[in-house]
Amino acid sequence: MVDITSVLPDLGGALDDVAIGDHYSAGVGSPWLRANFVSSIDGAATVENKSGGLGGEADRRVFDLLRTLCDVVLVAAGTVKAEGYGAMILDAASVEARVAAGLKPQPTFAIVSGSLSLDPKSRVFADAPVRPLIFTTESAPPNAALSRGADIVVCGATTVDPVAMVAELAKRQLTRIHCEGGPSLFGSLLAADVVDELCLTVSPLLVGGESSRIAKGVVPDTRTMSLAGILRSEDTLLLRYVRTRP
Ligand SMILES: NC(=O)c1ccc[n+]([C@@H]2O[C@H](COP(=O)([O-])OP(=O)(O)OC[C@H]3O[C@@H](n4cnc5c(N)ncnc54)[C@H](OP(=O)(O)O)[C@@H]3O)[C@@H](O)[C@H]2O)c1
């Protein structure tokens, strides 16, 4: 397993998963919306339309570990399709860590889709250990097949309203929200100012080209964040920023 050490705060030496979990749990409120992204040094969020080409072993380790700290994993439809998500099933070690921390064995998988053009036969739904949620809009066409495999929650007229979505999650006791993207969803979460934390892996790559950044769309005001921590693994930085609100 690749070593991950701390830069800020200095925790000394290679960190085990418990120490990394503690690092990411410090200062977390309720409800809390954390987003996790990986980017190249020059700001690319994808290589050949996937994030996989950016993240190394340390990014993968933290990516997996952050899923053990949440009630719900929130992902938009574009990323579910581009990254080929299956059912949200964590391995036995992650389940053990979650249960020890007082969480349900598996997180709920919540998907954001305005169009509801998702495959009801996908493993996302067929193999789900917990019935997934789909957040959509009043203008979405009815999709009876999809509603057999997931709870469909309407949150907004033509786009999903992030404030209403966070409130719907809270109603279901899903207050530790972990968002894995993608950039369009992250942009709308930033626009609504519901993001409490951004975990950003800076991968030691220069990519160039036209690939997207981690956030798309219009954010009315810039959002100020405070640096809450830096982990390092070889040439990769794992940054933790939390939202500074007046
Ligand atoms: N670098 C990273 O860490 C990272 C992380 C995640 C993803 N990615 C990459 O990002 C790319 C996908 O980007 P993207 O911006 O197209 O994807 P996205 O945000 O994952 O998905 C966009 C789609 O999600 C739905 N959506 C998002 N926000 C919505 C809202 N507020 N209301 C209603 N629907 C909403 C819509 O689905 P419908 O079309 O169904 O209405 C929309 O077309 C992929 O290449 C993926 O690999 C990178």
Ligand 1 geometric centre to CA of 113 (Å): 9
Neighbours of 42 (CB within 10 A): 11
Query: Is residue 246 pLDDT above 90, yes or no?
Result: no
Lowest mean pLDDT among 2-16, 114-128, 226-240: 2-16
Neighbours of 183 (CB within 10 A): 21
Query: Is residue 7 pLDDT above 80, yes or no?
Result: yes
At residue 8, the pLDDT reads: 81
Domain boundaries, the chain: 5-243
103 class by beta-carbon count within 10 Å (0-12 exposed, 13-18 middle, 19+ buried)? middle
Q: How far apart are the first and last CA of the chain?
A: 41
Our answer on whether the CB atom of 158 is closer than 6 Å to any ligand 1 atom is no
Our answer on whether the CB atom of 37 is closer than 6 Å to any ligand 1 atom is yes
At residue 11, the pLDDT reads: 82
Query: Is residue 231 pLDDT above 90, yes or no?
Result: yes
For residue 86, which phi and psi values (nearest 5 degrees)?
-105, -155
Our answer on whether the CB atom of 211 is closer than 6 Å to any ligand 1 atom is no
Neighbours of 241 (CB within 10 A): 19
Structural contact between residues 78 and 56, judged by C-beta atoms closer than 8 angstroms: no
CA 86, 114, 40, 52: dihedral to nearest 10 degrees?
Answer: 10
| Ligand 1, atom 15, residue with closest C-alpha | 184
Our answer on whether the CB atom of 132 is closer than 6 Å to any ligand 1 atom is no
* Average confidence (pLDDT) over 188-198: 98
Q: Got the DSSP string for 177-200? A: EEE---HHHHHHHHHTT---EEEE
Our answer on whether the CB atom of 78 is closer than 6 Å to any ligand 1 atom is yes
Q: Residue 13 region, left (φ>0) first, then alpha (ψ -120 to 50), else beta?
A: left
Ligand 1 atom, smallest distance to 80 CA: 20
| Ligand 1, atom 1, residue with closest C-alpha | 45
Q: What is the CATH number of domain 5-243?
A: 3.40.430.10
Q: Determine the Cα–Cα distance for residues 88 and 152; give it in Å rounded to an integer.
A: 17
Q: pLDDT category, 12, cuts 50, 70, 90?
A: confident
Mean pLDDT of the chain: 96
* Average confidence (pLDDT) over 233-241: 97
Q: What is the DSSP letter of 74?
A: E
Ligand 1 atom, smallest distance to 160 CA: 32
* Average confidence (pLDDT) over 222-227: 96
Residue where the block lists tokens 């007229």: 157
At residue 217, the pLDDT reads: 95
Ligand 1 geometric centre to CA of 45 (Å): 12
Ligand 1 geometric centre to CA of 213 (Å): 12
Express the helix, strand and coil content of the chain in percent, nearest 5 each.
25, 25, 50
Ligand 1 geometric centre to CA of 54 (Å): 17
Our answer on whether the CB atom of 185 is closer than 6 Å to any ligand 1 atom is yes
Our answer on whether the CB atom of 51 is closer than 6 Å to any ligand 1 atom is yes
Q: Determine the Cα–Cα distance for residues 33 and 175; give it in Å rounded to an integer.
A: 8
